[in-house]
Amino acid sequence: MKTELIGSKSGAGASCAPPLLELAGVTKSFATTVANDDISLSIAPGEIHAILGENGAGKSTLMKMIYGVLAPDSGRIRWQGEDVLMRNPAQARSLGIGMVFQHFSLFETLTVAENISLSTSQSAAKLSPRIAEIGNRFGLPVDPSAMVHSLSVGQRQRAEIIRCLLQQPKLIIMDEPTSVLPPSGIPPLFDTIRKLAEDGCAVLFISHKLEEIRALCHRATIMRAGKVVAAVDVATQTNRSLAELMIGREIPQPSRTPAKPGKRPALEIRALTHEPEDPFGTRLEGIDLVLHPGEIVGIAGVSGNGQKELAAILSGETSLSRAERDRVRINGESCGDLGPGQRRKLGLSFVPEERNGRGAVPEMTLVQNALLTAHPLGMVQKGLIARRDARAFTEHCISAMNVRCSGAAAEARSLSGGNLQKFIVGREIRLQPKILIASQPTWGVDIGAAAAIRQELIRLRDSGVAILVISDELEELFEVADRLQVLFRGRLSPSVDRADANSSLVGEYMTGGFLQQRIDSEAVAA
């Protein structure tokens, strides 16, 4: 039996073949903003085509229209030379368009084959050999009978891709597929994508990571603020030229001086082992972490390896039992059993990874959101809210962080994710903390603003604040951190100094390499 992936075999990478998908003048606007403005795009069979743009540039809206989730306001979509009206994703799939989402839609308690059979009419048993066959052919090894919860993120992604391939698509849309993978998982994915392209399947690859696009794609369409600013042949571009097209100006580089960390630790975790309350959470095991004033420590690792749990234990949102209070210390003071409010009084401030509903209340105004954690800065007098002070603080925060919004009275939900993040980071910095814990501080923030946030972190470090940055973007950690530790399956790697940190060592740690090392060194010690 041969699984046929329909498509012209001759078209690999060629731009002269008749386009598989063509968009002309596609426009989509929402209540107040034009998300896509007059977008034109064409993709040939067998082409790997990048859609490059910052968050908020309109990439997802465009993909949703191609995949039939949203309907364009105007413009036309042409599929194999014919105008089509994409009513819903089912129709898109029947035409031969598949999509691999950034967030997986697999049931943890079913096997791979069972999950895949849910979206087709065939039984899991019948599908298994086909899954294995497609897996072999495209370098996607995954056991069809494995339970999804036992799979790594990379394996889950493979299952998603196989599910997509079973529909025999002519075009696959991949939404930031590398963002969930450790560095070692990226080359195999790229091999798969290249094989798909050789077979004549076109791939629409969405990303904002320039290296990857240059390594993989043939052509790139670059979007900025809802418009196509350029469609380029990737081979003729450098990282720098792509980035400048993407953000429309030069990228600021943060400047830094060597760290001068203090002697007394500002924050310590000693031999912490913690069972998560959430059954799908990660167990933290034997965590030792020391953070000094005047240094930035980065926690690297693919998300889902215990970052969430670690951050909640540090912030106090998860508090330990009284018996374990010595496990966490702030400036030498045991505080494992203290709640977030009391830890804030000890000088800790915290930027959480979720901004809506945790770092900020979406339904409330920015002034009210400033009060959330900044109220101790004289914004409460005799139990009443000092509204003028709160407003002044908010306005200061907005202008200092260059938050784009309609003013201090704007509701938090009216801001884009990146702008809200800038506001939250600005608010936490302005609390004048002694310790700042930032979880994914620049997630979803555009390049220029991310650089500003990183610069702010370095400035804060120089003023003697102890900073912990938890991020799954290695580039970011290499840029800001003085030391790095990697979290893998709830265990923390040894600390790596900035000078010794490179992607191969950290990449090895990110797949658990340090565990072997630790066992070896224990053996030597014994």
Quick note: the x/- pattern for another protein over 352-391, rule CB under 8 A, is x-x--xxxxxxxx---x--xxx-x----x--xxx-x----
For residue 227, the minimal CB distance to another protein (Å) is 19
- How many residues touch another protein (CB under 8 A)? 44
| Among the listed residues 67, 79, 205, 350, the single contact to another protein using CB under 8 A | 350
Helix axes 447-462, 417-429, angle to 10 degrees: 10
Distance CA 96, CA 89 (A): 11
- Count the alpha carbons within 13 Å of 434 in the hemisphere toward its beta carbon: 16
**Which 273-302 residues touch another protein, going by CB under 8 A?**
none
Of residues 275, 245, 221, 272, the one with CA closest to residue 58: 221
For residue 42, the minimal CB distance to another protein (Å) is 17
Of residues 34, 19, 21, 454, the one with CA closest to residue 224: 34
The window from 261-269, 285-293, 341-349, 444-452 that contacts another protein (CB under 8 A) reads 341-349
| Among the listed residues 105, 413, 494, 502, the single contact to another protein using CB under 8 A | 413
- 348: tokens are 């800790």
For residue 208, the minimal CB distance to another protein (Å) is 26
Q: Is 407 in the site for another protein (CB under 8 A)?
A: no
Local structure of residue 352 (DSSP, 8 states): -
**Which 94-153 residues touch another protein, going by CB under 8 A?**
none
**Which 22-51 residues touch another protein, going by CB under 8 A?**
31-32
For residue 360, the minimal CB distance to another protein (Å) is 7
Residue with tokens 């915290």: 350
CA distances from 239 to 30, 130, 215, 301 (A): 32, 39, 11, 24
- Residue 437, strand partner residues: 350, 468
For residue 220, the minimal CB distance to another protein (Å) is 26
Which residue, 443 or 514, is less far from another protein as judged by CB? 443
Distance CA 43, CA 65 (A): 15
Q: Is 76 in the site for another protein (CB under 8 A)?
A: yes
For residue 79, the minimal CB distance to another protein (Å) is 12
Q: What is the largest CA-CA distance in the chain?
A: 79
Burial environment of residue 270 by CB neighbours within 10 A (0 to 12, 13 to 18, 19 or more): middle
Helix axes 153-166, 124-137, angle to 10 degrees: 100
For residue 28, the minimal CB distance to another protein (Å) is 11
| Among the listed residues 252, 262, 286, 339, the single contact to another protein using CB under 8 A | 339
Residues near another protein (CB under 8 A) are 31-32, 71-72, 74-77, 83, 85, 87-88, 315-317, 339-344, 350, 352, 354, 357-364, 368, 371-373, 375, 380, 383-385, 387, 413-414
